[in-house]
Amino acid sequence: MTLRKIMFLFIASSLLLIAACSNQPAKDSAAANAEDEQVTEKKDGGDISPAAKTLEELMGQPPGTLVEEFMDPDIEAARTVNFVHYLRFYEDTFKGVVENDLPGYFKKNPKADAALVYDYLVYTLGSGQYKPYYDQLKDFDHGYVMPELPDGEDEIERVKAQETNIVVLMDASGSMKAEIQGETMMDLAKDAIDQFTSGLDESVNIALFAYGHKGKGTEADRQLSCSSIDNLYPLSSYDENSFHEALNSFQASGWTPLAGAMAKAREYLSDYDREKYRNIIYIVSDGVETCDGDPMEEAKQLHDSEIEAKVNIIGFDVDDEGQNQLKQVAEAGGGQYATVRNQSEFEEVLIRKWQPSRMQVFTQQGVKLQDSVWKMDELIELYGRLTNLATRESQRITDAASFLRNEGYISAEVADEVIEMAKQQQEMRNTHFEELKNQKVEEADGAKEEIDAAVNEWKEEWSEVLE
């Protein structure tokens, strides 16, 4: 083969290769452009769903795209006293974002009617924070509990002479590593337990158990973890140094042998019968039994046994399934259940409400004024967060509709309709929030009156014995 033929074949092959390669990018480019158009269409609201209409839909509304991308949830839900934080961000930053973003959609949809405009503004500017606050308001519990009122002179004298034993069972399963506001649930629980125990009367005996604190939470070490239930502070009066050492000797690690921990507590307290001792179990947990035990049965045995222990449970940021189980366990154990979501709620339940005192029988009273004030403050706080979210969403939509009208993207009639729709949805939400808040206030007031009346009647009947 001559040199010329070889060169010809080389050049021809090269041209074919280049042609083949040049066709492929053109195909990919076309596909990419199609994908970009789809993304743009979705981003510009081509695929948006109708705005929520019913109360159920309104509570579960997802966050608007611009709100989710550019607004900090804490700023959007800022308390009324911190309204300036929201206002500054909204006026100085967020309105500019909105005014830059909205024209793109309405240039492509110049004939959008009021319903479509409203749907798109909710799609971009709606709040997605209703559900967590609404669930808390709906589940709000005043927490007022009828105190134990010994019946008869002998019973009163027995209770007055009783010593109090407290056994704290700390859930050290791996899920307690989860963080709330930058701190692990385990550390928050330890801090609250430390404050609780340091404030006990000198006559009160305290014991500390940890459970589930060994292993790594894997199936391979499940048996090890489920059998790890250790008494770290023997039943005795509180000693600060020794108790701190015990609290710091374990970390969140494995599984959750809740039933096994209660069985161990029952065995531990078996020598302290109800005639001479008042036995109380405090359980701190963030979830359900995971070691195949029966916590309800164990709680019932604790309460029905000779020691007649009362089982109180604090559920720390527990999901619905966990709340249902832990509440049933506490009821089976003759005690109380409370869900807490942060450290302040934890301290309120454990320190302000459940801390026992040897003077309790002498100073029995109904609902304390400070407890009533705290609970009403908590209720008003939840109500305020929800109404603020609704009011601010409505204002964002109103301002956006006014901007679109002023810039000529929608007519004055369409803008007025959109503003009216936003106002109606705000009123629907806020009316419902107020009705729910008033219902909770009535429930709390009714429980308070019932408790106060029962305590006052009991005091009058047994005033001579109590003196």
The CATH number given to whatever domain includes residue 203 is: 3.40.50.410
Specify if 366 maps to a domain.
Answer: no
Specify if 143 maps to a domain.
Answer: no
Contact 259, 219 (CB under 8 A): no
Same structural domain for residues 310 and 283?
Answer: yes
319/211 Cα distance (integer angstroms): 20
pLDDT in single tens digits along all 467 residues of the chain: 433 333 333 334 443 333 344 444 333 443 434 333 333 334 444 568 899 999 899 999 999 999 999 999 999 998 877 788 899 999 999 999 999 999 999 999 999 999 999 999 999 999 999 999 999 899 888 877 777 776 776 666 666 677 889 999 999 999 899 888 788 889 888 888 888 888 787 888 999 999 999 988 889 889 999 999 999 999 999 999 999 999 999 999 889 999 999 999 999 999 998 888 989 999 988 888 999 999 999 999 999 998 989 898 888 877 778 888 898 999 999 988 887 766 666 566 665 555 554 445 445 556 666 667 778 888 999 999 999 999 999 999 999 999 999 999 999 999 999 999 999 999 999 999 999 999 999 999 998 888 888 877 877 776 655 55
pLDDT computed for residue 333 by the predictor: 93
Specify if 105 maps to a domain.
Answer: yes
The residue segments making up the domain with residue 251 are 150-357
Specify if 401 maps to a domain.
Answer: yes
pTM of this prediction? 0.61
Same structural domain for residues 182 and 80?
Answer: no
Specify if 323 maps to a domain.
Answer: yes
Specify if 466 maps to a domain.
Answer: no
Same structural domain for residues 309 and 447?
Answer: no
Same structural domain for residues 247 and 172?
Answer: yes
Same structural domain for residues 245 and 187?
Answer: yes
Same structural domain for residues 327 and 182?
Answer: yes
Domain count, the chain: 3
Specify if 141 maps to a domain.
Answer: no
Closest CA to 234 of 209, 257, 197, 199: 209
Q: List the Cα angle 362/363/369 in 5-degree steps.
A: 170
**DSSP state letter for 317:** S
Same structural domain for residues 164 and 312?
Answer: yes
Same structural domain for residues 23 and 68?
Answer: no
Same structural domain for residues 408 and 349?
Answer: no
- Give the pair of three-digit tokens for residue 276: 């001479």
204/197 Cα distance (integer angstroms): 9
Same structural domain for residues 167 and 243?
Answer: yes
Specify if 154 maps to a domain.
Answer: yes
pLDDT computed for residue 34 by the predictor: 38
Q: List the Cα angle 391/393/399 in 5-degree steps.
A: 100
Task: Please report where in the chains the tokens 């009208």 appear, as a residue.
Answer: 405
Same structural domain for residues 216 and 194?
Answer: yes
In 3-state terms, what secondary structure has residue 411? coil
The residue type at 79: R
Same structural domain for residues 404 and 276?
Answer: no
